[in-house]
Amino acid sequence: MNFIKMNSKIAYIYVRIHESYEKYGACKLGKTKNIPDRENTYVTGEILRGEFVLAFEVPYTEMDVIEKELQKKFYELNIRINGGKEFYS
């Protein structure tokens, strides 16, 4: 995905996949103000990089509300073991 155009009024809700999530049939649902910056935080934790498979532009001021609504919508798909809470099947 190419995210050259960054705008302070825009944020992103994303879905990320990684081989370590596959064992659990999971993907990660997250939010960020800047996709390239968010990618950089994953680099140090992934020996083989995962990827963003979806990224939706949302108004920055609505980012938290939209993420919470998606978490409610996909509650039945939430996978919680003993790590993060942002993983879904």
pLDDT for the residue numbered 62: 97
pLDDT for the residue numbered 45: 85
pLDDT for the residue numbered 38: 93
Q: What is the pLDDT of residues 4-50, one digit of tens each?
A: 555 679 999 999 999 999 999 999 999 999 999 999 989 888 889 99
Q: What is the pLDDT of residues 68-87, one digit of tens each?
A: 999 999 999 999 999 999 99
Query: CA-to-CA distance for 48 and 18, rounded, in angstroms?
Result: 8
Q: What is the pLDDT of residues 63-73, one digit of tens each?
A: 999 999 999 99
Torsion-angle region of 53 (φ positive above 0: left; ψ -120 to 50: alpha; else: beta) = alpha
